[in-house]
Structure 1
């Protein structure tokens, strides 16, 4: 009996050491329902001997959570930046990468949360990009991984980099019209 108990304790400690239920250093969890979700890291199933981060719904939620960080935009003003990486989902409401650029008035000036291309349900590892321009009046850049409603999302191999203007922008980065357009729907 003692041998079985000792074996069980050893197995439990190995499992506990392979998954850490806390935000990785430099990241934090937030969102409209952050308490309905948990985050952590575990051994990657995409690349041997590497680590993935995850967001997991504790139960079905009406909100979302994000594992994120915010950086100073000073080094990126006037440039185009890309957040890229791999995502995998299990029973996900929506799992996605996202990025937002805020100006000095704390107003969002560029945003993409992959709403029109988020992963739903069970999806294997796939590569995704979010690309935004950082205007000269930018103050900060926030980015991360989000999970909405239910399930799990894993992120791996994230990169944040400056890219050329030849790289197409993704959602939410289109310029605003200076005045209302086609209010009569004739075009």
Structure 2
């Protein structure tokens, strides 16, 4: 005789498998090797009734993969934006939130992929955020979460919102260039 709890568990597992490979509406895959990763949504385990998106490395995964969106920047020009979301990892080499703002002349006019703050190994659900200034000439805002190498990252409850200038920027500082060339004859 099969117990009712066993039937419920099997049904839950099959429901999760049925959704494997289904991308969340509005999101797409990219990266240096997205073919080395599986993407999907499944019943959520962070809060009841929700769904989580995930990226899972296949055996011998190479490069990185991301689940992402790209939106028009016009509405956000001259503003400060915060991308926040919850991530959980299992045996990952590296996982992170990321956001990039492109102008008509520069890809990555503002950028943060949590470089030194990236997640490694196993982590529990935790909220992370990225804050960037959107230049007045911004054309597009790309954002998402990524996985590099082995393991799995799950994501939940993302938000993209305008914040005040009192919230510090997390992204890489724009380089300061000299105003004139130096030592062109190599004498120094």
Q: What TM-score do you get using the length of structure 1 for normalisation? A: 0.86
CA 1:9–1:58: 2 relative to 1, 3 Å: farther
1:94 aligns with 2:66: no
Return the alpha-carbon distance in structure 2 between the equivalents of residues 14 and 87 of structure 1. 22
Residues 108-150 of structure 1: CA distance to partner in whole angstroms, max 9, x if unpaired? 2000001111110011111100110000010000000100011
Match of 1:52 in 2: 52
Which runs of 5 or more residues in structure 1 are unaligned?
none
Contact preservation (8 Å) 1:89, 1:122: yes
Q: CA RMSD in A?
A: 2.2
Return the alpha-carbon distance in structure 2 between the equivalents of residues 79 and 16 of structure 1. 44
Contact preservation (8 Å) 1:106, 1:139: no
Return the alpha-carbon distance in structure 2 between the equivalents of residues 95 and 107 of structure 1. 22
Match of 2:175 in 1: 176
Q: CA deviation at 1:162?
A: 0.4
Q: SS of the residue aligned with 1:35? A: helix
Q: SS of the residue aligned with 2:14? A: helix
Q: CA deviation at 1:14?
A: 4.7
CA 1:168–1:10: 2 relative to 1, 3 Å: closer
Which runs of 5 or more residues in structure 2 are unaligned?
183-188
Superposed structure 1 runs of 4+ greater than 2 Å apart: 8-19
After the TM superposition, which of the residue ranges 101-110 and 72-81 deviates more from structure 2? Answer: 101-110
Residues 165-185 of structure 1: CA distance to partner in whole angstroms, max 9, x if unpaired? 01111131x2320229xx9xx
Contact preservation (8 Å) 1:79, 1:133: yes
